[in-house]
Structures are given as structure tokens and as C-alpha cells.
Amino acid sequence: MDKSLDSQIRAALFLWLSERFARNGGIFTRVELEREFFFEGKVVTLIGASGIWFPKGFDIPISITTTTKGLYPDKYENNMLRYSYQGDDFRNRFNVGLRKAFESKIPLVYFRAVVPGKYEALWPMIIKRDNPNELCIEADLAQVYVNEQFKTLEVSEVIDREYANATVKTRLHQPAFRFQVLKAYNDTCTLCGLKHPELLDAAHIIADSDPDGKPEVPNGLSLCKIHHVSYDKKIIGITPDYEIKVSDKVMKEKDGPMLTYGLQSMNGRKLILPSKKSDNPDRDKLKRRWDEFLEFAG
């Protein structure tokens, strides 16, 4: 395929991913990745039978995918992905394709399954190293700009590595975290029982930036928007025994129904817990937040 056409398709793809990302919370279904991205009226498949995927007519892969049951020990650590070759022959066409992407700095998309058939997407993924001896590639985030006028890609080296790492970390973890937390709580606010996924967040008990703040279900709470902010702003506290406490100051206020029903009536209730015990919020983490609440409120 002509290089400029390849670049135009990738540019269009990155815009498409950004738009979808904003709408679907960053989780893509296999069906939409197979059927819903079009370029000049034709479907371009973004995912396929092999983990290293070339849509029809492509010489360089468009994506790499990790499944939930991966055959290969792919690793994503310190914002560096180690992705295994397909098979053990570094000359097969899949591995040659990855090598070409590496040599020409062509950006790919990384799809990682969160459950079978659902993926989070990370892009643009630039291959930083090719390791034929270890049968893997290593990829990192580079800065890729979509030139709006020409709809082409311009790749440059990462300027602010820390910023880029923080961004990629957030982008990589949040959609999967939200998906798993909401699923554990059956799309229900753990405080008030509201069941509107579009009004629900996956709140961290210990913040993402803290070493203990891993994006795992026991460090999460499914909270509606108002209760998420109330928890973060210490209007509401949660004891390690899953009891809800509204701050004394707010309990004394008088106002309309949002204050009465939305906040004050939560005082003394118990959390609505996930169906699986192993998904319950971690008591030690809740204790840390509860101590902060007491300190703030007292």
C-alpha cells in the first residue's frame, strides 16, 4: 500500500478512536472493531484472527491485540509494553510487519481485552525496540500529531516523557477499571442504588497516583456523580464496616430535596455491596479514607 494512503487511514482511525472513546467510556466491542470503522466508504477491520493484524491491503499491521487468555506472556509495566512475536520465527510475515512498523516509526493501536470480546484501546503505539533474540517487541508512547489539513501523521519523539507517561497510564487503566467496577456492582451506585450507568463512575478509594491505588475492583466503588464528588470532598464518609456517614455540618443544613434525600438520608445506611464477596471494597483502604474524613470533619 502507498505510504501516504496508509498514513491517511491511520490518521482517520485515530480520530475515530478518540470520538468513540469519548462516547463509550473507552471500551470497544469486537464487533465494532471488525465492522464499524470506514475509510472512503469501505470497512477497514481493526482486529482479526491473529494478534498482529493487517487489514486487507496493508503491509504494516494496524493493531496488536492481547486477549484475556493470552498464549504469550505480554507485559505492560512502567508504561512499556513487551509484546511477543507470533510464533518463534522472526521472519514470518507478522513479525516482519512489526519490524517494518518499528523501522518506519508507523504508529499502531494496542487493543487489550478486559473480558472476552471487549477491549480497551491504546494509541498511538510506537515500537521502540525490536528484540529478535527475545522474540518480542517493546513499545512506548510517542507523540503523534494528526495534521488536520492533510489528515496525515507526523511522528516526533516524546518531549515531556513524564507527562506522556501519566497520560498513557490514565488512558490505559481507566476504561478497564470503570468497566470492571460497574460490572461488579451491577451498574448500581453503592450508596443510593441508582442504576443509570451514564450517571455512574468508578471511584478510587485510594487515588490512582498513590502506590496503593491499584486499579482493581476492591480499590473501587461504583458511585453516582453526586455521591462520587461528595465522597471526594468529604461530605460523605464510609466506615471500614461499610456504613455511610454524612458530615455533621451537612446534616445540620436545611435546603431542598437534593440535600434531604440525596445526601442527608444516606446517613447511617449501609453500602449496597457487589454480588461477589471478593469484589467488596478493601477494609484497610476504606479505613485510610475514613481516617482522612474524620480528620477533615473533626
Using CB under 5 A, list all residues that contact Zn ion. Answer: 189, 191-192, 194, 224, 227
**What is the rounded CA–CA span in Å between residue 165 and residue 209?**
12
Chain position carrying cell 446517613: 267
Min dist. Cβ of residue 146 to Zn ion (A) = 38
Please list the alpha-helical segments (H only) found in the chain.
Answer: 3-24, 30-35, 93-104, 161-184, 225-232, 248-252, 257, 283-297
Whether residue 124 has a cis bond before it, omega within 30° of 0: yes
Convert 61-97 to b/e letters by CB count within 10 Å (16 or more is b). Answer: bbbbbbeeeeebebebeebebbbbbbeeeeeeebbbb
Min dist. Cβ of residue 108 to Zn ion (A) = 39
Helix count and strand count (H, E) for the chain: 8, 16
Query: Measured from the CB atom, is 176 or 221 closer to Zn ion?
Result: 221
Query: Measured from the CB atom, is 6 or 201 closer to Zn ion?
Result: 201
Min dist. Cβ of residue 180 to Zn ion (A) = 19
Query: Measured from the CB atom, is 224 or 238 closer to Zn ion?
Result: 224
Query: How far, in Å, are 133, 261, 262, 282 from residue 258 at the CA level?
Result: 62, 6, 5, 29
With CA atoms as reference, report the closest residue to 147 among 21, 4, 33, 36: 4
With CA atoms as reference, report the closest residue to 173 among 257, 241, 249, 77: 77
Query: Measured from the CB atom, is 141 or 224 closer to Zn ion?
Result: 224
Query: Measured from the CB atom, is 96 or 199 closer to Zn ion?
Result: 199
Query: Measured from the CB atom, is 126 or 224 closer to Zn ion?
Result: 224
Are 27 and 179 a contacting pair, CB within 8 Å? yes
Min dist. Cβ of residue 228 to Zn ion (A) = 8
Min dist. Cβ of residue 193 to Zn ion (A) = 7
Position 268, amino acid: G
Q: What is the CA radius of gyration of the chain?
A: 23
Query: Measured from the CB atom, is 168 or 192 closer to Zn ion?
Result: 192
Backbone conformation region of residue 251, classed left if phi is above 0, alpha if psi is from -120 to 50, else beta? alpha
